[in-house]
Amino acid sequence: MARKYWLFKSEPEEFSISDLKARPKQTEPWDGVRNYQARNFMRDEMKVGDLALFYHSNCDTVGVVGVCEITREAYPDPTSWEKGHKHFDEKSSPENPRWIMVDVKWKETFPRTVSLQELKEHPKLSEMRVAQRGNRLSITPVDKAEFDQVCQLARKS
C-alpha cells in the first residue's frame, strides 16, 4: 500500500515541533482531535509510515515548520473520558470511545517556515486544503507532489 501524506496543525504554545523533538524517542500521541472529519482521517486512512507536514497555527509566522511520521495507528484517546481534562467529552467512555489518536515521531525541523501566505501564492500549492478560505481542520490530506514541493521550499535558504 502506498504511503499517504498529511498536514497536522498545532498551536506552538500548546505543542510545537520543538516539543515533539524533545520528547522521549521524539514520539508523542496526537491527542485532543475533536472534529469528526479529522478523526475519520486518522481512524480510516492513516497508517504507520505515513508522513505529515507539521504546521504551526495561531502564532506570529503561521506555516509549515517540519515533518513527522505516523508510528502507531488509531487507538482510543483517553483524554476524552478524563473528567476535568480540557479534551473531556461526556459522551465518550472507555467502553464506547468517541475520539481517537495516533502516535507521531519527529523526522525533521525545517531551516525556515513555509508560511501560509507562501502556500496560497505558490502555483503548485494554492489548492492545498490549508490554503483554502474557511478551512479549520487540524488534520488534512496532502498529495505527494504538494508534500515534496513544501519540503523543497522549506529546505531552500
pTM, two decimal places:
0.94
Tens-digit pLDDT profile for residues 17-61: 999 999 999 999 999 999 999 999 999 999 999 999 999 999 999
Which structural domain, as residue segments, surrounds residue 88? 5-155
What CATH number should be reported for the domain holding residue 67? Answer: 3.10.590.10
User: What is the tally of structural domains in the chain?
Assistant: 1
Tens-digit pLDDT profile for residues 82-124: 898 888 888 888 888 999 999 999 999 999 999 999 999 999 9
Q: Give whole-number Cα distances, 53 to 9, 44, 110, 133, in Å.
A: 8, 19, 10, 19
Q: How many helices (H) and strands (E) does the chain have?
A: 4, 6
